Amino acid sequence: MFKSLIEKNERRSQLSIMAQYLNTCFMISTVDDEYLISIEKGNVTNVEEGPFVMPSYIFKLTASKNEWLKFLQSTPQPGSHDIIAMLRRKVLKFEGDLHPLMSHLLYFKLLLASLRPTESNREN
C-alpha cells in the first residue's frame, strides 16, 4: 500500500524541494500492517514493511486499512481527503514527536496524496 513511496516520480521530486532539510523516520500503520519510511533531504530513501520487533521512528500515523483505502482513492470523500480531516474524525491517530510532521505538514500531506491514482494512471 505504501511501498510505492520509494518510487521516483515528478510529483515527489518537486516535493523534495519543500523539505530539503527534512531528515526523519516515521511509521504508517494500518493496524494489521506497518511501514517504516525513511526520509533524507526531503526524499523518501527507504520503505520497509513490517512486522517489526522494536522499530525506531520519530512519529507514527495509525488508521484502519479501510480508512487508508478511502484516503488513497483518486477522489476521496470529504473527511477522508486529508490527514487532518481524518484526525478530526478520530479515525487517524498521531503518536510520537510531532515536530517534524507539523513543521512540514504540507509536505507530508502532498507526499501521501501522491500515492493516489491520477487520470493518466487510470487510462493506462
Q: For residues 1 and 59, which has the higher predicted lDDT (pLDDT)?
A: 59
Q: What is the DSSP letter of 3?
A: G
Per-residue pLDDT reduced to its tens digit, 5-54: 887 766 777 888 888 899 999 999 998 899 999 999 988 999 999 888 89
CA distance linking residue 7 with residue 98, whole number of Å? 25
Specify the CATH number of the domain 3-119: 3.30.1050.10
pLDDT at position 51, please? 87
CA distance linking residue 46 with residue 38, whole number of Å? 5
Q: For residues 28 and 118, which has the higher predicted lDDT (pLDDT)?
A: 28
pLDDT at position 37, please? 94
Domain boundaries, the chain: 3-119
pLDDT at position 120, please? 56
The pTM (predicted TM-score) of the whole model is 0.87
